[in-house]
Amino acid sequence: MNSVIPPEKRVTFTFDGKTMTAISGQTLAAALLRNGIRTLRKTRKESKPRGLFCGIGICFDCLVVINGQLNQRACIVEVRDGLIVETQDGVGSS
């Protein structure tokens, strides 16, 4: 399951500056988990770490910043080449 990805199916993106790879068609949350990332954001009030919970786009816990856009649900967004992903701090700042 975690084997080498052939180039035509490989997607490269960054997470908090680190380069990662994934299979095209995977969700960003899946790609991050595949690369060992479980914590995606810190909560607004208590700065508690949160990660994937419902996996289907309804709990809004997997929020990350993608290419500068806040509140993106990682479990819904498909991973694409060149995405710049960052952990979201609370509601972030714009």
Contact positions vs another protein (CB under 8 A): 1-2, 5-6, 8-9, 23-27, 29-31, 33-34, 38-40, 43-46, 48-61, 63, 71, 75-76, 78
Number of other residues whose CB lies within 10 A of the CB of residue 29: 22
Number of other residues whose CB lies within 10 A of the CB of residue 64: 25
Q: Output 12 or 26, the one with its CB closest to another protein.
A: 26
Q: Output 14 or 54, the one with its CB closest to another protein.
A: 54
Q: Compute the least distance from the CB of residue 35 to another protein, in Å.
A: 10
Q: CA of 48: how far to CAs of 24, 80, 89, in Å?
A: 31, 28, 10
Q: Compute the least distance from the CB of residue 71 to another protein, in Å.
A: 7
Q: Compute the least distance from the CB of residue 14 to another protein, in Å.
A: 19
DSSP one-letter code for 60: -
